[in-house]
Amino acid sequence: MRTHRCGELRKVHVGQEVKLGGWVHRRRDLGGLVFVDLRDRDGIAQVAFGPDAPEVLAVAASLTPETVVSVRGLVAARPVGQANPEMPTGEIEVRATAVEVLGPAATPAIPVARGKGEELAAEELRLRHRHLDLRRPELFRNLELRHRLLQRARAELAALGFLEIETPILTKPTPEGARDYLVPSRVHPGEFYALPQSPQIYKQLLMVAGFDRYFQIARCFRDEDLRADRQPEFTQIDVEASFIGVEDVYAVTEAVLVALWREAGHEVTAPFPRMPYRDAMERYGSDKPDLRIGLEIRDITGLIGPESGEFLRAAAQRGERVRAIVAPGGAALSRKDFDQLTEDAKTMRAAGLLWAKRSPDGVTGPGAKALGPTMASALGLADGEAVLGCVGADAVVLPALGRVRLELARRLKLPPATRHAFVWIEQFPMFERDPETGVLVPMHHPFTAPHPDDRAFLASDPERVRSMHYDPVYNGVELGSGSIRIVDPALQQQVFDRLGLTPEEVQQRFGFLLEGLRAGAPPHGGIALGFDRIAMLLAGAESLRDVIAFPKTTAARALFEGAPVPARKEDLDVLRLGVAK
RNA sequence: GGGGCUGUAGCUCAGCUGGUUAGAGUGCCGGUCUGUCACACCGGAGGUCGCGGGUUCGAGCCCCGUCAGCCCCGCCA
């Protein structure tokens, strides 16, 4: 039916007779001469219809955008001066000798062909008419890249001796962690499966079984609220290995990430630098610091002196830390900029933002008095610089300044120090307290092994215990998460005890994992990489929705197919379910 | 669960301090045109101003509610 794809035609094809199939991208009707831009997966070629074949020209004149046609013709060099340097196929055109309409097309609800500077249709419409939106070359390229990244990840892991093994989609609900999507069982009325939040326990059981090196391109489901970088169903590159330690996991992960970045055309180097969680929080106010930018957070509590404002001295007296960012060029920011930065800090629950700037006239701004006359010199605040600070509990102040830091970099348009800033964040706390209930909860999951140096504190001071958990971070984005797991059933029991789980609860929730550990478990650990995010970063997309063929909206709706929908009464009856009002 | 932004022609948008007949570009339909490439030119059709209620002599504009999309906080072991 076809001899070539539109986008592949070049000067070397001149003189050949070709048959093409594709969509009418645009038509330019000059009367006695009609040009059709024909589009397929590979690109666009210009088809020229002339007066030699009047009946073919007549068909061309009637073609509407997005009609599917087949064209037969001769590849010809364009006349002198008529080449289009902006098109890969711009040196040639196809002189049509025959054309056939294969699929007539209604006028598209949203435009596929977009002119220079033309805005995209609203995202709601793009999602509703996804089949049209996916015809846009940009989205096409994103999904093609995604395909290549998947193939590359598979090839890389397989070459390293990892076996690709599938795990169940219908699995067991897990009471903690994210909310599960539940699936009712017809055979067992009143009982439910859950869709997996991740194959965590299964992959550990595979290690117990001796598979040694496992990976899976795993679909995961979490019924939580969405973000630009969070979808309710998403894809992980899930990896686990036995008889390994942290260094082995880092090496494998780095090999995969370097391969993926290379596939997308970026040369990056391993090993990646490493940073303890505590440093990341104190210097960058985030457990996923963007190391392309400076603007580090400083502890200036020690600089508070008798000439500082009462407010700061009192805070320091209470034992609170005062932390601040010095921003080169910050004095050029407007009052409005500072007001908005203050709002940003407040959305992160900070009480406010102190700020002052230094110009030749001196140090000015609402925070100048509070910081005191000697603060500027103590800080080394130079002309043109600004200082922005927060006071209060670290748990509030550091994330708030972390947010301010990113906003500052954006507003100041600071040039990134490097293009690719990978970093491993490690030594996470094993537990944290629920701020509302004060209950000890695992920071990640309860199978994460404690750091060997801190095991003694498990009983005496659990909040001091660091875990063998690690996150690879790239340019301020968390790429994944992993850990070395607990293999000693007694240690696992001790962790469950710390979490206040009763033996009955443990047996009910994790009995099958404990049973596995008791059966002889090799030391093991692994990682799960957020594949959609990686695809988004490498495609240069701003939203996960641009690298997923059929994504959900922020309200978890599928606009194209229209899901979810109310269940039919017959279906509910079979499942013996009712809908509460 | 909370906060913010947006919703006007198929699409992208404008619409002043509330004022009488709601506009532009593009697309669509008809016409002219042999080298265009966002073709050009002439003509035409096209509106539940998201939806519901209220205030007012009068509402696209003000108020209340609601729906949808997007962004953020909470949430996401």
- pLDDT above 90 (res A164): yes
Q: Which residue has the tokens 């391993």?
A: A270
Contacts of residue A529, Cβ cutoff 8 Å, sequence gap at least 6: A236, A237, A238, A239, A253, A256, A257, A472, A479, A480
Nucleic acid strand B: bases within 7 A of protein CB: 1, 10-13, 26-29, 32-40, 68-77
- pLDDT above 90 (res A107): yes
What is the nearest nucleotide to A179, using C1' and CA? Answer: B76
Q: What are the structure tokens assigned to A296, written together?
A: 């580090």
Q: How far is CA A330 from its chain centroid? A: 30
Contact A290, A475 (CB under 8 A): yes
Q: Please give the average per-residue pLDDT across A155-184, as a whole number.
A: 94
Q: Please give the average per-residue pLDDT across A241-259, as a whole number.
A: 98
Q: Which residue has the tokens 């925070």?
A: A367
What is the nearest nucleotide to A78, using C1' and CA? Answer: B35
Q: What is the mean pLDDT of chain A?
A: 93
Q: Which residue has the tokens 């215990």?
A: A465
Contact A46, A36 (CB under 8 A): yes
- Is A86 (CB) below 7 Å from strand B? yes
pLDDT at A43: 95
Cis peptide bond prior to A306, omega within 30° of 0: no
pLDDT at A436: 75
- Is A64 (CB) below 7 Å from strand B? yes
Contacts of residue A483, Cβ cutoff 8 Å, sequence gap at least 6: A444, A445, A447, A448, A449, A467, A468, A469, A470, A525, A526
Taking the stretch 259-278 of protein chain A, residues with Cβ within 7 Å of any atom in nucleic acid chain B are none
Taking the stretch 539-578 of protein chain A, residues with Cβ within 7 Å of any atom in nucleic acid chain B are 543, 545, 553-555, 557, 559
pTM of the model: 0.94
- What's the residue count for chain A? 581
- Is A348 (CB) below 7 Å from strand B? yes
Per-residue pLDDT reduced to its tens digit, A172-202 = 998 778 999 999 999 999 999 999 999 999 9
The SS3 of residue A254 is helix
How far does the CA of A390 sit from the C1' of B64, in Å?
39
Closest by Cα among A113, A147, A153 to A133: A113
Query: Which is more confidently placed, A371 or A179?
Result: A179
Tell me the C-alpha distance between A92 and A45, whole Å: 8
Checking ipTM against 0.90, whether it exceeds it is: yes
Closest by Cα among A115, A29, A96, A19 to A64: A29
- pLDDT above 90 (res A465): yes
What is the nearest nucleotide to A114, using C1' and CA? Answer: B38
Strand partners for A466: A429
How far does the CA of A21 sit from the C1' of B8, in Å?
40
Tell me the C-alpha distance between A94 and A18, whole Å: 8
Q: What are the structure tokens assigned to A512, written together?
A: 């099958």
How far does the CA of A142 sit from the C1' of B57, in Å?
58
The SS3 of residue A336 is helix
Tell me the C-alpha distance between A540 and A7, whole Å: 23
Tell me the C-alpha distance between A379 and A375, whole Å: 6
pLDDT at A427: 96
- Is A452 (CB) below 7 Å from strand B? no
User: C-alpha distances in angstroms, A99 versus A5, A89, A373?
Assistant: 16, 20, 82
Contacts of residue A316, Cβ cutoff 8 Å, sequence gap at least 6: A301, A304, A322
How far does the CA of A469 sit from the C1' of B66, in Å?
46
pLDDT at A370: 85
Contact A39, A22 (CB under 8 A): yes
Sorting pLDDT into bands at 50, 70 and 90, what band is A372? confident
Per-residue pLDDT reduced to its tens digit, A409-441 = 999 988 888 999 999 999 999 998 887 777 888
